[in-house]
Structure 1
Amino acid sequence: MLRHVFVKLLFFLSLYQINAQNLNQKPIPDWVEPTTPDYTASAEDAKASGFYYLLLDDQYNTEQKEYYERFTYKIVSKNGVQEMSDISIEFDPQYQKIVLHKLDIIRDGKTLNRLDMKDFRIIQREEDLERHLYNGVVTAVNHLYDIREGDIIDYAYTTLGRNPIHEGKVGATFFLQHTLPVAQIHISILKPENYDLFINTDNGAPDAKITSYKGNTRYSWSASDTKAILYESNTPSWYYPAPTVEFSAFENWAAVAKQYSKHYAVSEPDRVALKKASEAVLKWHKNRSDSLTALVRFVQDDIRYLGFEDGLNSFKPSRPGEVLQRRFGDCKDKALLLSTLLQCYGVEAKPILVHSINGTTLDKKLPSPFVFDHCIVQYKTELGQDAYIDPTISDQGGSLQTTYWPNYHFGLVLDENTTELTRLTKAKKPKTILTETFSLDKVGGGAVLDIETLYYDGDADDMRTYFNTTSTESVQKSYTDFYSSMYPGIRVNKEVVVEDDRKSNLIRVVENYKIDSLWKPTPENKKIIAAQFYPSALENVLYPVSSSERSMPYLTNAETNFEHKTVVYFPESWDIENESLHLDNPGFSYDYKIDYKNAALEITHHYKGKTDYLEADQVAKYLDLHNQIQNQSTYQLTYGAAFVDSPQISAGSYTLTISLIILGVLLSALLCWFLYTTYDLPNTVDERWQQPIGGWVAFFGIGIVLTPLIVMGTLLFSEDLHLNATHWEYLFDQSFLLGLIGIVELLYNSAYLIFSIFVAILYFQKRTIAPRMIIIMNAAVVILFTLDNIALLQLAPDEFNPAETQNIYGEILGVMIKAGIVICYFAFSERVKNTFTNTNKTYTEPEHYEFNTPEISPGQQSSL
């Protein structure tokens, strides 16, 4: 107990010492350019924030390493009193001191001096503690008392000292407009004549006002009455539309690399010692690639991420041997350790500075070390290509050659020979494939749902940490809760299985559920039930952030590569048309496909990102295409639901269909037998004019022979005629006439099969009735085909779009033309009459009587 009290006492004593040594009071330095805020200024849009900045003043003195800041703001509401009654000043006590100049409260035109050193307390907040970083920065805090609505708070201070690792060089970016309204903004930098300074302005920032002060050059910028920048939704973090002033003491990227790469140099003795120490802790393999991969995984997984970045440590890495021994380090520590180890084993590798979020715009900035916030490793592959490893990412899979790295866009290789930024190559795009398989037990019933999710490359890396730190029970509960929102009756059938092939960097997750009820009545018609299939795992990409008319870039994700498959196995055949859709856009590509065969339906959605952001004029089309995807993302199966109330009728029963086929066959067979045995036409063609089957008769005979085969195929394979009990229920539920049409179609096709066989027999027997039967058969086809299709168009017009309707009328016309040719030929052709001459009966020729005429002699006359 006493030990803890003693530790706390030492802590407070150290903070008191910091307060005494690093925080004091003095007048404003002479080098500061005077500014005068307008205490009467106001802003209409200040109510939302509760306060309004009257002055923001930032001034640098490069020679004395001093940074002056002044803040003047007016409290305009009670919310402003709550938010802005505290003053916080951060500094690093290892090399910085704070000099307070003024702290005034202006109330009702009177100035109240509130600067009292006793009111400031030193605290150490460690804002990056959650990221396992300790930067050593402390905060001087003053909780102002008696602050009221309408008060103006005006305070100024100077930070003395800069990190010595920068060797007196500066670099910074300032904005002449902010997300809050500001009445006056002032920026200046004072430098000696022999101090190189490079300046860049952007987004309409004015050129600097150049003045002199005691032999030094001052660059100043000012802005007045600036409006608040209203960022549009989903704007990338790197986008700053404000007028910008950027300055740097570094002439080029080579100067940056040269100054800071020396801190990453490792001596040969340290390198030898590191290799020896690593051999004692690393697990080596016979295969070189596996050994190098194990080395990378050791630094990523076994050297924990922890950084003490106070003082020089904020830019200078620890020695690799020290990091290996203590088993922790920040990004630059781990990057230097990994690159040195790889060098020890013959791999060309270097640390490279990057920005973890805003790397897109690094090439547009002035050279400076302050534009980076992260450090990774660049190495050469066996093929001599540049590749990268982020040593701070743990639980990665794959080999050294296939390890995934985020797209940081640009980086600065820490080598004294570096002259330019390096554009980082992109890693292989990660991918996720999710397959949901529904095995339906019956229409209107439930299903077994099998889910397989495959995570590849970077997606596997992202999921591995989750699965390694989450119990199977928690994973199962999370997944079940996700699906229960869509299928309330879902329950786990088999426990979730997670298989991790880390070497191939593939994670496979298998789930199995039982859904008691997959079907629901439709809102439009309670007698119709429906089952819906929706790619819920794609919801984040299918529904991007909406945006009205915009002027700013729009954030997208180039790494998205998700394929969602839904497979449905039916207990019976369905009438489903295959279809596909392809959408392409600068931001993404999307493929949608419906594939049905053998009572199995496969629905595929494949979404791939293509870029990290879109220009403002590309966003409207991007969102319109997503709306198009959303409109067809849900696939719905519908059924007439009358059978649900009649359990005695099996959904898979074909009794009525089979009965109708048998009835049609029997009736047609009886008719054909009657015609064959009783109906005949006499032959009127003399035997010498009779002809065999040939010519056009033979040509049309090909169609006569093929017709029974075609009709048989229709009955066997056309799903339109495979009507079970639920199909009949659905048809009659929609309309009695639709059900009647179904009965007529089935009777007609089964009767037509027998009649076409009957006609083929007559054709080969060359019966005299064959032409007439052929004419009757073709006429029946025209009449029934026309009536059937017209009836369907009248009874169910919503089922046909204009193109389909036009196509139906075209088919009717085609059938009429074909049948008309056949009918005309067999009705009027002389060849037909001379070919079909055989009869079923024997006809008796009529008797011929001969008359004997008496011979008449010449000169005699007949008395007849």
Structure 2
Amino acid sequence: MTFKTNRYSIFIIICLFSFGHFYAQIKTTETPQWVIQQSYEKSPNIDLNEISYGLLTLLSDEQIHIPKKERYIRIVRKITDYVGVQDGSSISINYDPTYQQLFLHSITVLRNGKTINKLNVDDFQSIRQESNAESYIYDGSLNAIANLADIRNGDILDLSYTIKGFNPIHGNHFSGGTTLNDFQPVGKINYYLIANKTLYYKTLNCDIKPKIASYNGYKTYNWTTTLTKTPQFEENTPSWYLPYQDLFVTDFKSWDAVVNWALHIYQDDTKLSEALKSKIEHIKNSTEYEGERISATLKFVQNEIRYLGLESGIGAYKPFSPNKVLEQRFGDCKDKSWLMITMLRQMGIEAYPVLINSAFGESLHQFLPSPKAFDHVVVKVVDSTNTNLFYDPTISNQFGSYKKISFPNYGKALVIKKGVNALEKIKSKNEDLVEVFDTFDLPTVGGPATLNVMTVYRDAEADAVRTRFKSSSLSSISKEFKNYYDNLYDGVEVLKDPVIDDDSLSNKILVEESYKINDIWIPMVGNDKNINVEFSPYSILDIFYSPDEKERKTPFALYYPSHKKHQITVKLPQRWSIANDNVKVNSKSFDFSLKTKMNRARDIMYLNYEYRNKAGFVKPEDFEDYYTKIKEVKQIIAYYVYIPKSESKSRSFEKSFDTEKITSNLATLFFWIAGIVSIVVIGLIIYVVRSNKNRD
């Protein structure tokens, strides 16, 4: 169940879903009579320096006859550089043979004013190329592939074909769309529809209107753009952000129409097999508590039904029978979700399928109503206290109470329940707290130190770490941890293997590590007469991104949700004078705090950091605030303990040296040094005055 937006990439790939009878034969026919032939400029006014891969798209033409269920495609490309010959010689057309047929119309090369026919059906091979196989998704589609001979720099390649057949799961409904620009300039883009019913349409990032006319009693819609402009890209943009000039078309008037369509797919009239009844009764009889039944059902579906999707045809939208899923012990997102829903309903627990767009959930409200707007299915449960709970049965190794099970930040979703007529915003209820406790023991100035680390992961962070640990050996985990600290310090030795304690009941994982750092004292930046040790909250820095530019026109992505507490305890080799501080930096996007404290009796310094972000992204209008506050944090986030090199070689340390909070601006350091010098000078003056009085 996937919605894909055309991007006019190097290969011609149209991803559709499949069902029905198998048609593997590729045929050749004339261009359908209903197609309107499009002209194009052979040398459009486009800067070739803006063209990637040596391929310039002169024409991208897509025309769809909805009543006939036919889709006509024509792509014309010009090879502008020798690097384009490789990809320009290859043709790859994706179609589903179980309900679609592929008809080739024309393949020509225009060279020096002459047209060369390159159409030979025998040059094509139909191969199965499962692009999502690494995700255990198999859609059964075929790629018709051909490699053209004698293609040269400067050639214009013109390809046209028609794919007949729509996925029967949609019935008489139609929804689709395209993009009216590309990541590089395009000479002309044409999108033409022939419809037997009213279509609703919407564009993003442009105001291009269709030309509406008629053809043989049908209504036609036509969008055309020329010399398209590329979208604006900025670093660290959220994956859900839509920068292209997207066009959405559908005959679904509202979201409740999509819900009504989906209710026929998720029907609750399945006669349960004896095996499924037995499993449900086993869970039901094992506890009388509703929450424990929900948890047990979720864990069974997550951990004992493996993830595997056979998404051919209606299989891309309609789940297999729960009986079959239990029997075969595998299924994709909708199979696993529907099995869980069926089991819970049999126990009298309210549960519903939920349609998700795993990539564009945050911007789903910008889409028009359509089943193709979704690519994932999860579960909503309403318990007896009327609490709304969301679960993803495709995630494994999740723990905690049934109200604390973590759920990804999918954004908006559509609950398949009668009467639902709008998208629902799903907010994570989990804190996802990570606490790090670093204890440094510096027995001598200039000598080695020991570092003991205790890290506590909770909620989704615990789930992620648990999955990571289960897929790795202890030795590889230990090596990975050491490599991490090798990037922070020189001369790191592992004193003992990591100790991992998994408290699955509260979904908390505790990890203990121990290291020796031989070269923790290093020359001080800006003053090589001193040596210093740096202390930083690396757990915060790992997700703390500092932009270079102050202005922004697109959203700025943040790691979300994120709540980090990082406590650093330093056992100093002697007494240092440390000021107690309590600094806070609050912005519209995050909160940051730093508390410093010195135990003078025991020569122990404490640094307590906390960071929490408030959203998954920064709005462009709030970016200046984010940028300014990030700069403030950078000024205070690192601490340095320093001492002159000459003093570090002394055997006795009876003096008390000062340490300061060092920032990227060393003015603070110089200020304190000047202060110390002033105190010494004043003391000398007082001493001299008193001496003179005594002499008088």
Shorter-chain TM-score above 0.5: yes
Counterpart position of 1:59: 63
SS of alignment partner, residue 629 of structure 2: helix
Query: 2:679 matched to 1:799?
Result: no
Query: 2:186 matched to 1:182?
Result: yes
Q: Is the alpha carbon distance of 1:273 and 1:47 closer, same or farther for their aligned partners in structure 2, counting shifts above 3 Å? A: closer
By how many angstroms is 1:531 displaced?
Answer: 1.3
Task: Name which of 367, 370, 389 aligns with 2:369.
Answer: 367
Counterpart position of 1:444: 446
Task: Name which of 247, 251, 254 aligns with 1:252.
Answer: 254
- AA aligned opposite 1:360: E
- Cα pair 1:407 1:427 within 8 Å, conserved: no
SS of alignment partner, residue 188 of structure 2: strand
Aligned mates of 2:670, 2:59 — CA distance in 1 = 71
By how many angstroms is 1:358 displaced?
Answer: 0.6
What are the Cα deviations for residues 248-292 of structure 1, in whole angstroms up to 9, with x where unaligned?
011111111111222211326328763324446899356553343
Q: How does 1:213-232 map to 2 (within 5 A)?
A: 213-232=215-234
Higher alpha-carbon Rg: 1
By how many angstroms is 1:621 displaced?
Answer: 3.3
Task: Name which of 494, 501, 514 aligns with 1:512.
Answer: 514
- Cα pair 1:387 1:425 within 8 Å, conserved: no
Structure 1 unaligned segments of length 5 or more: list them: 1-17, 652-723, 731-795, 813-864
**How much is the aligned-residue C-alpha RMSD, in angstroms?**
2.8
Counterpart position of 2:430: 428
Counterpart position of 1:238: 240
Counterpart position of 1:200: 202
By how many angstroms is 1:355 displaced?
Answer: 0.7
Aligned mates of 2:649, 2:233 — CA distance in 1 = 57
SS of alignment partner, residue 340 of structure 1: helix
SS of alignment partner, residue 270 of structure 1: coil
Counterpart position of 2:691: none
- Cα pair 2:284 2:347 within 8 Å, conserved: no
Q: Percent identity?
A: 32
Aligned mates of 2:136, 2:187 — CA distance in 1 = 39
Structure showing the higher strand proportion among its residues: 2
Query: 2:27 matched to 1:29?
Result: no
Decide which moves more: 21-30 or 158-167.
Answer: 21-30
Task: Name which of 119, 127, 130 aligns with 1:126.
Answer: 130
Query: 2:382 matched to 1:380?
Result: yes
By how many angstroms is 1:570 displaced?
Answer: 2.3
By how many angstroms is 1:224 displaced?
Answer: 0.9
Q: Which of the pair has the greater relative contact order for Cα pairs under 8 Å at 6+ separation?
A: 2
Aligned mates of 1:404, 1:508 — CA distance in 2 = 18
Counterpart position of 1:115: 119
Q: Is the alpha carbon distance of 1:406 and 1:576 closer, same or farther for their aligned partners in structure 2, counting shifts above 3 Å? A: same
By how many angstroms is 1:399 displaced?
Answer: 1.7
By how many angstroms is 1:567 displaced?
Answer: 0.9
Q: Is the alpha carbon distance of 1:259 and 1:518 closer, same or farther for their aligned partners in structure 2, counting shifts above 3 Å? A: same
Q: Is the alpha carbon distance of 1:139 and 1:42 closer, same or farther for their aligned partners in structure 2, counting shifts above 3 Å? A: farther
Q: How does 1:268-347 map to 2 (within 5 A)?
A: 269-270=271-272, 274-279=276-281, 284-285=286-287, 288-347=290-349
SS of alignment partner, residue 543 of structure 2: helix
SS of alignment partner, residue 122 of structure 1: strand
- Cα pair 1:553 1:614 within 8 Å, conserved: yes
Aligned mates of 1:542, 1:206 — CA distance in 2 = 39
- AA aligned opposite 1:143: N
What are the Cα deviations for residues 346-377 of structure 1, in whole angstroms up to 9, with x where unaligned?
22111110111211122232110000010000
Decide which moves more: 41-50 or 52-61.
Answer: 41-50
Aligned mates of 1:801, 1:617 — CA distance in 2 = 42
Aligned mates of 1:160, 1:57 — CA distance in 2 = 16
Query: 2:515 matched to 1:642?
Result: no
- AA aligned opposite 2:236: N
- AA aligned opposite 2:26: L
SS of alignment partner, residue 543 of structure 1: coil
Aligned mates of 1:497, 1:337 — CA distance in 2 = 37
What are the Cα deviations for residues 754-805 of structure 1, in whole angstroms up to 9, with x where unaligned?
xxxxxxxxxxxxxxxxxxxxxxxxxxxxxxxxxxxxxxxxxx9732789x99
Structure 2 unaligned segments of length 5 or more: list them: 1-20, 660-668, 686-696
SS of alignment partner, residue 103 of structure 1: strand
- Cα pair 1:73 1:153 within 8 Å, conserved: yes
What are the Cα deviations for residues 612-637 of structure 1, in whole angstroms up to 9, with x where unaligned?
22222332332332233223322100
SS of alignment partner, residue 476 of structure 1: helix
By how many angstroms is 1:21 displaced?
Answer: 4.7
By how many angstroms is 1:329 displaced?
Answer: 0.4
Aligned mates of 1:797, 1:77 — CA distance in 2 = 58
Counterpart position of 1:41: 44
Aligned mates of 2:82, 2:177 — CA distance in 1 = 33
- Cα pair 1:284 1:294 within 8 Å, conserved: no
- Cα pair 2:291 2:402 within 8 Å, conserved: yes
Aligned mates of 1:124, 1:797 — CA distance in 2 = 69
Q: Is the alpha carbon distance of 1:342 and 1:797 closer, same or farther for their aligned partners in structure 2, counting shifts above 3 Å? A: closer
SS of alignment partner, residue 396 of structure 1: coil
Counterpart position of 1:669: none
Counterpart position of 1:539: 541
- AA aligned opposite 1:505: N
By how many angstroms is 1:650 displaced?
Answer: 2.5
Q: Is the alpha carbon distance of 1:610 and 1:93 closer, same or farther for their aligned partners in structure 2, counting shifts above 3 Å? A: same
Q: Is the alpha carbon distance of 1:797 and 1:462 closer, same or farther for their aligned partners in structure 2, counting shifts above 3 Å? A: closer
By how many angstroms is 1:32 displaced?
Answer: 1.1
Query: 2:212 matched to 1:210?
Result: yes
Counterpart position of 1:147: 151
Q: How does 1:510-659 map to 2 (within 5 A)?
A: 510-544=512-546, 546-547=548-549, 549-598=551-600, 599-646=603-650, 649-651=651-653
- Cα pair 1:406 1:427 within 8 Å, conserved: no
Decide which moves more: 356-365 or 597-606.
Answer: 597-606
Aligned mates of 1:519, 1:89 — CA distance in 2 = 61
Counterpart position of 2:100: 96
SS of alignment partner, residue 576 of structure 2: coil
By how many angstroms is 1:189 displaced?
Answer: 0.8
SS of alignment partner, residue 606 of structure 1: strand
- Cα pair 1:296 1:400 within 8 Å, conserved: no
Aligned mates of 2:23, 2:276 — CA distance in 1 = 43
What are the Cα deviations for residues 727-776 of structure 1, in whole angstroms up to 9, with x where unaligned?
59x9xxxxxxxxxxxxxxxxxxxxxxxxxxxxxxxxxxxxxxxxxxxxxx
Aligned mates of 2:611, 2:195 — CA distance in 1 = 54
- Cα pair 1:60 1:189 within 8 Å, conserved: yes
